Structure 1
Amino acid sequence: MDAPRNMGTIIRTLPHYLSNLINRRIEAPLRKLENKVFYFNKRSYDDNYCHNDEHSNSCIDACQICVTWDKNCTRPFDANNPFLAQIITNKELHKGGNRSCLHVEFDISDSKMEYEAGDYVAVYPKNNSRLVERLGELTNTDLSKGITLANKGNQITSYRTALSHYIEITALPSTDVIRKLAEYCSNESDKNKMLLMATNSKEGKTLYKSFVEEASPNIVHILEDIKSCRPPLNHICSLLPHLQPRYYSISSSPKLFPESVHVTAVVVKYKTKSGRVKQGVATTWLAGNKPQKGEPLPRVPIYIRKSEFRLPQSMQTPIIMVGTGTGLAPFRGFLQERAHAQRNGNEVGDTILYFGCRHRHQDFIYQEELEEYEKSGLLKLNLAFSRDQADKVYVTHLLEQNLEQIWNVLGNRNGHFYVCGDANNMAVNVRDIVLKSIREIGGKSHQDAVKLLNNLKSTKKYCSDTWS
């Protein structure tokens, strides 16, 4: 009689026993591994791939673990889950002058990320460490102390990490930020000045334009110039916007470079009316992260953002591309695509490029590549060097001399037209020239020309990728 009762007990308790066994032997170790990987990933991403400044050696190991984990990860890399890409190439493109233009290549071979020519790569930068330390000095704050980031799920991190990676400390302060900072002025004159800047009055707008828009100060400069304004650092962190990724047109084709993404970026650096030197957050940071012989490759969090800036499906379709400076970036990818097709015996339609820069011998980026494409018969190259002669010559001058070519490609041959670069002047002028071609060569009225151009835009046969 005892045996059946014991057997019944075993049967009743078996599910619970198996559940405990699975949890103890399988699930618990997996949770530990997951937490370990999350910790390393979080540490490596937060503060130059490490929370603690003293972790310089272990930080490299953390990155390696992240990459190993990423190889088997099924979750796609995106804004909330960027990929820690190695910088495998970082070189200067300009041959002279006082400006700098970088060609940067990110290794994406372990990411499972895919891209197309014309897409963007988003780069998460790191704020200038000197500005971060200066902000600590001005607010008399120990930057190693912890702060809770509400916008990061109440994540606790150090002030140094928060200011380096999560907060846009170089942003121009809005009138709302100015108004809230005014409350921390011990000097009544300073307080009234800041409150006036925050108003919609004519005097306030004039003052804001002069003090902020023209002088272009960041929060550090505000505190340096208005010495009685001393808000606590945690309040500053709550006032400033989140540090956003910077988007760059990809200047490569996956047909030639499936395991890397190329970026072409001018390093932003100029003197403001206040006499200070303004530097771009991302490009300055990238400029300081060049691969060094015998050292681990620098890493940067990135992800791919899709674009509608695309080549026509048929390589036989004629295209006209108009770009200035780094506006050449996506067209470099387009040219690589067409060159690849040509080398594989496919027929490629007319490929026409209008490119402009200041000087042939200084900032003619990718000169050798473009000239080689021209020699091979792939490319018809039209160049404008605005400052190589007394009278400035721009791409729009060259384009206006070829109205028949524009109408032939767009009106007669069902081609595509692309423009990339300055939105305020160049892109507007190019649009007007295209309208002029439709009117004068195509014989359309102004109203019909505008209608046709809008139709070309809606069907993605006239594409713009511009910035101001």
Structure 2
Amino acid sequence: MDRRLVVLYGSQTGTAKDVAERVARDARRRRFRVLVSAMDDYDRTRLIDEAPVIFVCATMGDGEEPDNMKGFWKFLLRKSWPRDILSNLEYTVFALGDSSYDKFNYPGKKLHKRLQQLGARPFYPKGEGDDQHYLGIDGTLDPWLDGLWQVLLQRFPLPPDQEIISDQELLPPKYRLVPYQGKSIAPPTRSAAPGTIVARVECNTRMTTANHFQDVRHVVFSIDEGVWHRPGDIVRLMPSNNAENVDALLSLMGWMAQADDLVLVENTDPDSPVPADIPQPTTLRALLTRHLSPWSRPRRYLFELLSHFATDDQQREKLVEFCTAAGQDELYSYCHRPKRHCVEVIQDFFAVRNVPATYCFDLFPEMVARDYSLASFAEGKVELCVALVEYKTKLAAPRRGIASEWIRTLKKRDEVPLRIVPGTMTLPDDANTPIICVGPGTGVAPMKSLIEARIQQGATANLLVFGCRSRTHDFLFEAEWQKHVDAGHLDLWTAFSRDQPAKVYVQHVLLQHGPQVFDWIQYRGAHVYVCGSSNQMPTDVCNALKLIVQNGAGLTHEQAVEYVAGMKKARRYQEETWS
């Protein structure tokens, strides 16, 4: 009996990949052979006669599939496929998403449905992870995996002479760090992903006043004039970790003496190739600076790994408890509620000693690129509007986002590799069609690129609804907006929430101008764009629009809901939000 499984993932920020690797580790403990791959890296021709496949599928943006799944998804959507082409395939799906979004787990649901349309048979029910669960994805993943292994072990029993590898036994590392025996070379740098260009920093200035609670940066890069981009596109940046923090981590782990030795990264499992963006040879310092993210939220596997190297029984027992179903409430209180990162966990469990550096890929998540909306439409230039993340946790320790700390340090003339990738927002084909842009805070960034593109087209029916706390402290791009207003290219409505006793937000401003908004939507076919934090604003704006339509057209609430749903389906209502 061939006890082989395939785990295919679509992952944008690394969470789905982490889940796929956890599934693979659990499978190996049960003596399965496992292939783990991003969907777009997998040889699709093998799918027809493949072993059972476990799909792990994240959600990005407004229900979009992750980038490393897009090719696979287009392949499945070919209309020429016979309806029974995948009749030999057995599969299951675990979808990841956030239930605060309308299209919760949409790619996973679509994948599950499409596979069935092509004749594939689910051998186990689809699972759905939700970031809103107080235990995060693990809240639903744990029971889903328990049931999955029961089903698979019934169908593929262990050989008579083998047992499940105990959790008490340390698995081999994902990759090995092997001393490099060749000639000395220049310090390794990250290999560029396809489509990467080198941009040069022109400016990195603070847009908000010094006494405002948030540091919002206007970062401008110069690029080659031949590089083409569209309004609404995304700029993808790969940050690096702070050098002082990396030094402190190397000392903490006892790895400083080998930090700059040249090594080759080799796989320990033939089905787990080394990522192509890791240069060969490299150094441990380079890996911790550019490829790994030790200051990110820890995966549960971190606690399992640390338990094997704890020299104190009490600390070892606590680490093991955090990996059990019974210990999840306490893990939440210890780790997730105060937002501890991996390094803080290692500092707390001081009895952990002598962790081999070759386990660095298992201890820490991989560094992932950050996406920022393009805030310009000028050729040869890329502008970003970025709010730097800085806050205090329950530990009272100041915390800065990894990318924020990196962006803060960028200086004029620094060279930065970046990629420009398609965004989700598209302008109407007819320049005479009005657009209504709702972009509070840094949500105004893509609106700036859309409006600038429209002005180049000669369009004047452009409305921006902008919101912030105060006209004097965080009115982003105020001078640019006023210039367009004075030229007759833009209508500008503002909501400064803290400049009067009663708070005023963008949805309130829309309601105040309800008849004009309805006129643009109903009689002039206006397109509506909404961008900003996913917390409450998008829902409030959508509800305001439903009320405007209901009052303007004399509809019932249910009819107004259908009207706005029709706008979304026709791409006349587009959202770009983040959590």
Deviation string, structure 1 residues 57-108 (Cα, Å, up to 9, x no partner): xxxxxxxxxxxxxxxxxxxxx8445222211222111123242111111222
For 2:565 and 2:338, the matched residues in 1 are separated by 39
Q: Secondary structure at the match of 2:329?
A: helix
Equivalent-residue separation in structure 2 for 1:139 and 1:43 (angstroms): 22
Which of 90, 94, 100 matches 2:208?
Answer: 94
Q: Secondary structure at the match of 1:388?
A: coil
Specify whether residues 42 and 200 from structure 1 end up closer, same or farther in structure 2 by C-alpha distance, changes over 3 A only: farther
Q: For residue 24 of structure 1, what is the aligned residue in structure 2?
A: none
Note if contact 1:175-1:199 (Cα within 8 Å) is conserved in structure 2. Answer: no
Bigger radius of gyration among the two: 1
Identify which range, 431-440 or 421-430, moves more after superposition: 431-440
Asked if the contact 1:163/1:169 (under 8 Å) is kept, the reply is: yes
Whose RCO is larger (CA < 8 A, sep 6+)? Answer: 1
8 Å Cα contact 1:317-1:349 kept in structure 2: no
Q: 1:220 & 1:393 partners in 2: Cα distance?
A: 41
> Where has structure 1 moved over 6 Å in runs of 4 or more?
none
Which AA in structure 2 matches 1:319? I
Counterpart of 2:236 in 1: which secondary structure? strand
Note if contact 1:82-1:301 (Cα within 8 Å) is conserved in structure 2.
yes
User: Which residue in 1 is equivalent to 2:312?
Assistant: 187
Contact 1:384–1:393 under 8 Å retained in 2 = yes
- TM-superposed CA distance for 1:42, in Å, is 8.8
1:336-380 per-residue CA deviation (whole Å, 9 max, x = no partner) reads 223333xxxx4x242111111112111111111112222222222
The answer as to whether partners of 2:441 and 2:468 remain within 8 angstroms in 1 is yes
Q: Which runs of 5+ in 1 are unaligned?
A: 1-38, 50-77, 292-296
1:405, distance to aligned residue in structure 2 (A): 2.6
Task: Map residues 336-351 of structure 1 onto 2, 5 A cutoff.
Answer: 336-341=452-457, 346=458, 348-351=459-462
Pick from 164, 183, 186: which aligns with 2:289? 164
In structure 2, what is the equivalent of residue 56 of structure 1? none
How does 1:232-271 map onto structure 2 within 5 Å? 232-253=356-377, 257-271=378-392
Instruction: Quote the Cα distance in structure 2 between the aligned partners of 1:273 and 1:439.
Output: 45
Query: What does residue range 104-183 of structure 1 map to in structure 2 within 5 Å?
Result: 104-109=219-224, 112-142=226-256, 143-149=259-265, 150=267, 151-153=274-276, 155-183=280-308
1:425 CA drift (Å): 0.5
| Partner SS state of residue 106, structure 1 | strand
Structure 1 residue 176: Cα displacement: 2.7
2:347 counterpart (211, 224, 234):
224
Greater per-residue helix proportion? 1
> Alignment RMSD, CA only?
2.3
Counterpart in 1 of 2:114? none
Looking at structure 2, the residues matched to 361 and 443 of structure 1 have their Cα atoms a distance apart, in angstroms, of 40
Q: Deviations over 1:97-149 (max 9, x none)?
A: 24211111122217x42101100010111111122111101111131124443
Change in Cα spacing, 1:272 to 1:147, as seen in structure 2 (3 Å) is farther
Q: How many residues align?
A: 383
Q: What's the counterpart of residue 433 of structure 2?
A: 317
> Matched residue of 2:467: which SS?
strand
d(CA) in 2 for partners of 1:233, 1:216: 25
Aligned counterparts, 1:33-432, within 5 A: 45-46=189-190, 79-80=193-194, 82-96=196-210, 97-109=212-224, 112-142=226-256, 143-149=259-265, 150=267, 151-153=274-276, 155-201=280-326, 204-230=327-353, 231-253=355-377, 257-291=378-412, 297-341=413-457, 346=458, 348-432=459-543
| 1:44 shift after superposition | 6.9
Deviations 1:386-432 (A, max 9, x none): 22233222112212223323322222211100100011210111111
Shift of 1:259: 0.7
Spell out, residue by residue over 1:287-326, the C-alpha distance to the aligned partner (whole angstroms, 9 max, x if none).
11121xxxxx201110111023022122211111111111
Gaps of 5+ in 2: 1-182, 268-273
Q: Which one-letter code corresponds to 1:313 in the other structure?
A: D
- Structure 1 CA distance, aligned partners of 2:337 and 2:194? 34
> Does structure 1 retain, via aligned residues, the 8 Å contact 2:374–2:449?
yes
Q: Percent identity of the aligned residues?
A: 28
**Letter in structure 1 aligned against 2:197:** F
